[in-house]
Amino acid sequence: MSEFEHKLREAERRVRSGHMTRRDFMQFAAAAGIAIPLASTMFSKAEAQEPKKGGTFRIGMEGGSASDSLDPTTYSDSVMIAASLCIMNNLVEFDADGNPTGELFETWDVQPGAQDWVFNVRQGIKFSNGKTLDADDIIYSIGLHRGDKTKSPAKGNLEQIAEMKALSPTQVGITLKSGNADFPAILGDYHLVIVPKDHTDWDMPIGTGAYTLESFEPGVRLVFKNRGDYWKPGRGNFETVEILNIQDPAARTAALQSGQVDAVNRLDARTVDLLMKDPNLAIVRTKGTGNRFCFVSRVTMDPFTNKDLRLALKWGIDREKIIKQVYSGYATPGNDHTLDALNPYYNTEMPQRTYDPDKAAFHFKKAGLAPGTKIELQTSEGAWGSAVDCAQIYQESIKAAGIDLSVNKVSGDGYWDNVWLKVPFCAVYWGRRLTADVYFTEVFGSGSSWNDSDWRVPEFDALVAEARIELDDAKRKEIYFKCQEMIAEDGGQICFAITDYLDGYSPKVAGVKQHARYDLDDNRVAEKAWFA
C-alpha cells in the first residue's frame, strides 16, 4: 500500500468513526488531490451512519479526586461533569461551534433590552423516578446555586437574576437586574443540571439523562446503566458506561492502547505524534480551545499583595519553553487572563507577554521585599498531569532574574479542596468558557466563590456590568479589551499556556466530534457516541 493510500484509508476510517470533521476532511482532500464532489460523497455517507445500541463504554479520565460528589454545587473538574451528564441534563446545550441550543429549556423569548426572558420547558420529559419535568423542578434546581448559603461556583453568574417564577408548568419567567443578551449561555453552565423539586440525595441523583447511577467510588470509578427510551433521538446508545479515574497520562494512554478503556481525555502532548501513527487509535485534536494552565497567587496574601512581585512572576516564566518541552507545541502562550484568541472579544492590541528576566528582576527589586522572603509555589499532578513539570521549568527560568522560587509538590488527593483557594500560590487550570462575560464574572468577579486570585476590583466589576448591557459591539469590545488589560497588569493569574484538547479513542467508537467548549465532545461522549 502506498503512503497516499494509507493516508486515504486512515482519513476514511476517521470520517466513518466521526473523529474527523467535514472541514478537516475537505482540507485533507484538497491537499491530497481528491476531487471535492467525491470527498463530499464520502463524508455524507459517514454522516448518514445510524447509531447502534449496546455495549459497555469505558472512559479513562483525568480530573477526579477522592473528595468528588454528585452534588452539582461542588463540581470542579471533568470527571464529575461527565458523570453528571450521564444522569442529568442541563437547561441549555452548546452545539459543536459553541452556540447555545435548547436542552430542557426547548426555546426562549426575550423582550427588548434583554432583561425579561421567558423560557419554554421541554414537554413530556420524565425523570428516572417517573416524575414529569415541570417549571418548579427547574426553579428549584437553579435555586441550589443561589442565595447566601450556597457555595456553588455558579452563584456569581446567577446573581444577575432579580426574579424567577413559574408562569405555568411549562414556562419559566426570569427577570434580570439589567439586560444580558448572552443570558442563555449563562444557563449552559455545567453546574446547572436539573433534578426534581426538593431532591437532596446526591448519593443517588435523579435526572432526565440517558443513564442511572449504579455505583460510585469517589476518585476511582463510576458505573451507569442505560435507563431505556432516552428522549434524545440517536443518543444514549450504550448499555453500560464506566468512568475510570486515571490521573496519570501514561497510565491512561496504556489503558487505551491495551483496550482496557475505549476513550481517554488529556493525552500527553509529548507522545501524541507517535499515537497518531497508530492505526488502532483515533486522535481528536481541538486546536486552541483547551485548558488554560496557570500559576495563581492570591493578591490578599503576603507577599503577593505586592503588585511588582506579581509582575516579576509574570515576566519570569518562559512560556515558549514550557510549550515546547511539556506540550510539544500543542499549545499557545497565555497572556495572563483566560480569554483565548478564538473568542471574538480577545484583546488583539495587547502585546503578548514574553520571557524577560531583566524586567522580572526590575520588578522584583522594585517590590522591595525583605531579604530571605520565601516565594513558594504549591503544585501537584492533582492539579493537572504535567503541572509539576511546568513548575520545574518555571523555577529554572526565573532563577535568571535572581528570584528563588521554591516548588513544593503536594499530594494530588484532595488538591482542589485542600490547596486551591486556600494557599497563597498554586497551580490551577481553567476550562474554556464560551462568553467573555462568563469568564470575567466567574474567574475574576468580586461575587465569585471561584475567584482564585482573590482579585476583587469594583472598577472591573462595573466594566463587566457595563459590557453586559452594551449592544454596540464595537463599544462592548473596547470594554472587554480594558478588562483584559486590567487583569494582566494587576491580577494574580499567570496564564502561561492554552492547550489543544487531545482525546484518544478506540476506532470502534463512532459519533464523536471536536467541540468548541470542552474535550470528549463537551464531556457528553457517553451520551453522543456509539460502537460502530
Which uninterrupted H or E stretch holds 309? Answer: helix 307-315
Q: Which of 193, 183, 103, 184 is nearest to 145 (CA)?
A: 193
pLDDT of residue 372: 77
Stronger pLDDT, 342 or 49, i.e. the higher one:
342
User: CA-to-CA distance for 368 and 309, rounded, in angstroms?
Assistant: 9
Per-residue cell: 72: 452539582
Which uninterrupted H or E stretch holds 60? Answer: strand 56-61
pLDDT of residue 373: 85
| pLDDT tens-digit map of 190-200 | 999 999 999 99
As a whole number, mean pLDDT of residues 74-89 equals 96
pLDDT of residue 169: 98
| pLDDT tens-digit map of 315-329 | 999 999 999 999 999
pLDDT over 70, % of the chain? 91
pLDDT of residue 49: 76
pLDDT of residue 40: 41
Between the two ends of the chain, the Cα-to-Cα distance in Å is 25
Sequence-separated (6 or more) residues with CB below 8 Å from residue 39: 25, 26, 29
Continuous H helices in 368-456: 387-398, 415-418, 436-444
pLDDT of residue 8: 53
Question: Which letter does DSSP use for residue 124 in this model?
Answer: T
User: CA-to-CA distance for 233 and 228, rounded, in angstroms?
Assistant: 12
User: CA-to-CA distance for 208 and 129, rounded, in angstroms?
Assistant: 9
138 SS3 class:
helix
pLDDT reading at 175 higher than 70: yes
Sequence-separated (6 or more) residues with CB below 8 Å from residue 99: none
Could you tell me whether strands 221-226 and 211-217 are parallel, antiparallel, or unpaired per DSSP bridges?
A: antiparallel
- Please state, in angstroms and as integers, the Cα–Cα distance from residue 258 to each residue in 19, 105, 252, 262, 505, following that order: 20, 41, 10, 10, 12
As a whole number, mean pLDDT of residues 302-310 equals 97
pLDDT of residue 19: 57
Could you tell me whether strands 116-121 and 171-176 are parallel, antiparallel, or unpaired per DSSP bridges?
A: antiparallel
Residues forming a β-bridge with 60: 244, 264
pLDDT of residue 248: 92
Asked, as a colleague might, if the bond just before 303 is cis with ω within 30 of 0, I would say yes
Per-residue cell: 171: 414556562
Question: CB–CB of 199/205 below 8 Å?
Answer: yes
pLDDT reading at 356 higher than 70: yes
As a whole number, mean pLDDT of residues 431-440 equals 91
pLDDT of residue 13: 54
| pLDDT tens-digit map of 459-477 | 999 999 999 988 889 999 9
Q: Which of 316, 74, 269, 352 is nearest to 190 (CA)?
A: 74
pLDDT of residue 331: 96
**Mean residue pLDDT across the chain:** 91
pLDDT reading at 355 higher than 90: yes
User: CA-to-CA distance for 268 and 7, rounded, in angstroms?
Assistant: 23
Q: How many CB atoms lie within 10 A of CB 1?
A: 8
User: CA-to-CA distance for 189 and 443, rounded, in angstroms?
Assistant: 13
Per-residue cell: 526: 457517553
| pLDDT tens-digit map of 19-63 | 555 555 545 554 444 443 434 443 444 455 799 999 999 999 999
As a whole number, mean pLDDT of residues 79-92 equals 98
Can you list the pairs that 157-161 forms with residues at least 24 positions away whose Cβ atoms lie under 8 Å? 157/186, 157/189, 157/438, 157/441, 157/442, 157/448, 158/186, 159/447, 160/186, 160/468
Q: What angle do CA 210, 219, 155 make, to 5 degrees?
A: 70
pLDDT over 90, % of the chain? 84
Per-residue cell: 123: 414537554
| pLDDT tens-digit map of 258-272 | 999 999 999 999 999
pLDDT of residue 11: 59
pLDDT of residue 245: 97
Question: 124's torsion region: left (phi>0), alpha (psi -120 to 50) or beta?
Answer: left
Q: Which of 284, 286, 282 is nearest to 256 (CA)?
A: 282
User: CA-to-CA distance for 413 and 417, rounded, in angstroms?
Assistant: 9
Up-side HSE of residue 26: CA atoms within 13 Å toward CB? Answer: 8
User: CA-to-CA distance for 505 and 269, rounded, in angstroms?
Assistant: 15
Task: Specify the amino acid at residue 226.
Answer: N
Longest CA–CA span in the chain (Å) reads 71
